Amino acid sequence: DIVMTQTPLSSPVTLGQPASISCRSSQSLVHSDGNTYLSWLQQRPGQPPRLLIYKISNRFSGVPDRFSGSGAGTDFTLKISRVEAEDVGVYYCMQATQFPETFGQGTKVEIK
């Protein structure tokens, strides 16, 4: 199975400041079709997860442009350019390149 490792596991951030989360996979996420199926999801307290970013860097419908994704191969990053109060929650990276699909442990973003 592909293991997804996120760092940090907790990220206290000041409102208006940037935040960054890293995700590393135990093997390359490049699929045989040439795509890299790495997604980022947000889970606000008491809510189901919500897709933010797919295929490394594509923002899903309705996602603010302060969220951006980057990376390649086995190393990926989610950046929030300026954290807002509504961004509090847990962020997960996830791979769908190979079954079983696997998630990172989650990174809790909170306001300092």
Partner 1 sequence: EVQLVESGGGLVQPGRSLRLSCTASGFTFGDYAMSWVRQAPGKGLEWVGFIRSKAYGGTTEYAASVKGRFTISRDDSKSIAYLQMNSLKTEDTAVYYCTREAAAGLDYWGQGTLVTVSS
Cβ(58)–Cβ(65) below 8 Å = no
* Contact indicator for 84, 13 with CB cutoff of 8 Å: no
Alpha carbons 93 and 95: distance in angstroms, whole number = 7
77 contacts partner 1 (rule: CB under 8 A): no
Please select the residue that binds partner 1; options are 48, 85, 86, 112, rule is CB under 8 A. 48
Among 16, 85, 86, 99, binds partner 1 (CB under 8 A): 99
The residues in 15-44 that bind partner 1, with binding defined as CB under 8 A, are 37, 39, 41, 43
Work out whether 105 is an interface residue with partner 1 (CB under 8 A): yes
Rounded Cα distance, 37 and 52, in Å: 13
Of 1 and 75, which has the nearer Cβ to partner 1?
A: 1
Taking the least distance from each CB to partner 1, the nearer of 30 and 51 is: 51
Site of tokens 């989360």:
21
